[in-house]
Amino acid sequence: MDEPAAGDVSLGLASVGDRRLVADCVAGAPGAWEMFVGHFGGLFHHVAQRTAAQRGRTLGIADRDDIVADILLACVRDDAAVLRAYAGRASLPTYLTVIARRVAARWLTRQARAAQPVGAPRRVGAPPAAPSGVDREEIELLLGRLDERERLLVRLHHLEARSYGEISRLTGMPLGSIGPALSRAKAKMRLPAAG
């Protein structure tokens, strides 16, 4: 492969140096991993800090370093699958930023869950405002209109902010049936009380 000519800019494509560095890391060439860490360590620190800031969190040095360690581990896990998957359709820094952001977000989510008391509903982002005029008794009354499976779905999705994927894993329900089941449950909760 020829080196690009001076001034040749291939937007969105990997540079020859990026491809060579990835190939050397995957092959275990001496010094390649150290060069990779030296070249992209600052980027990973920045992504960790920025991802935390976007979630309203401030990272201490130890937490930031833990996230960077997780990012580096993700790069070498499963025989360097992340690096092997690099196809050069974007620059290596862009590709690694996406990987780093995902790893940082997972780390922050795990930490937030671990910090919650056992049995407390999971919060995502800022705590939702309580609906005006609705108290716990009213919510329980509305949930009482639902069968056991519907109550579980509503609790998981609306009170614990679980994703459809998480609900599917927890309940064994097919992913495509969760949305319709939640819609039916919400419709039941909107019905006027029988009286």
Q: What CATH number did the domain enclosing 37 receive?
A: 1.10.1740.10
- Residue 161 in 3-state DSSP? coil
Helix then strand then coil, % of the chain, to nearest 5: 65, 0, 35
Regarding whether 84 and 28 lie in a shared domain, the answer is yes
Record the tokens describing residue 124, joined without a space.
């995502």
* Residues comprising the chain, all counted: 195
Q: What confidence tens digit (pLDDT) does each residue in 78-92 have?
A: 888 999 998 888 889
Verify that 34 and 83 share a domain, yes or no.
Answer: yes
- 10 Å CB burial of residue 105 (0-12, 13-18, 19+) is middle
Residue-wise pLDDT for 3-59, tens only, equals: 444 333 344 467 888 899 999 999 999 999 999 999 999 999 999 999 999 888 888
What residues contact residue 146 under an 8 Å CB cut-off, 6+ apart?
Answer: 154, 185, 188, 189
The C-alpha atoms of residue 73 and residue 87 are separated, in whole angstroms, by: 20
Any domain includes 11: no
Instruction: Residue 170: give its domain's CATH number.
Output: 1.10.10.10
Cα separations (Å) of 143 from 60, 162, 183?
42, 17, 14
Tally of domains within the chain: 2
Q: Are residues 20 and 99 in the same domain?
A: yes
Does residue 126 form part of some domain? no
Radius of gyration of the chain (CA): 24
| % of the chain beyond a pLDDT of 90 | 30
The structure's pTM equals 0.54
Is residue 140 domain-shared with residue 106, that is, in the same domain?
Answer: no
Lowest-pLDDT choice from 88-92, 104-108, 117-121, 172-176: 117-121
What is the span of the domain harbouring residue 28?
16-115
Assess whether 140 and 185 both reside in one domain.
yes
CA 178 – CA 157 distance, rounded (Å):
10
Domain boundary among 84, 115, 146: 115
Same domain, 161 and 96: no
Residue 88 included in any domain: yes
Q: Residue 65: inside a domain, yes or no?
A: yes
**Residues 108 and 145 both lie in one domain:** no
Q: Are residues 95 and 27 in the same domain?
A: yes
To the nearest 10°, report the CA torsion of 110, 116, 120, 125: -60
Q: Does 111 lie in the same domain as 20?
A: yes
Residues 6+ apart with CB under 8 A from 83: 22, 25, 26, 75, 76
